[in-house]
Amino acid sequence: MNVIEIIEFLKDSGLTQVEEIEYKDDILVLRCYYDFDKDEIIAAKSFATEESDYELESEEWYSEYLIPYLNDIAVDNLSDIVEETMDEFEVEGQFSSYDIDRNNFQYSEFILAFSDSEEEIDIDNILDDIDL
């Protein structure tokens, strides 16, 4: 598995701060960020404002509308990127996302795992093993 090429591919696909986390030799584990662009933030705010009956920028406005909308965008886009990576490099891949912070919702953080072996990846076990 060509780690450098995979990392470059992920960066070229729009992910930022892609860094390797030491793990087993046959599994590549990475931390990365999906940064929301201005249009995605505007769309999320518009959605939250139009769909919610809550006061603008209240706790509920964030937690029930804005953050879930942004989370869906990030997960959908990362899912596509992981699929493309799997196809391009003939690897298996999984990812896990962290909760988006309401005080800093400009990005979403992910842990990705890739393996070129036939063994199935279990991202939950990996997260437990690396204590995240």
The predicted model scores a pTM of 0.91
Q: In the chain, what are the domains? A: 3-129 (3.30.980)
Q: What is the mean pLDDT of residues 5-27?
A: 96
For 13-17, the CB contacts below 8 A with 24+ separation are 13/81, 13/84, 13/85, 14/77, 14/81, 15/78, 15/81, 15/110, 16/107
pLDDT in tens, 85-130: 999 999 999 999 999 999 999 999 999 999 997 778 999 999 999 8
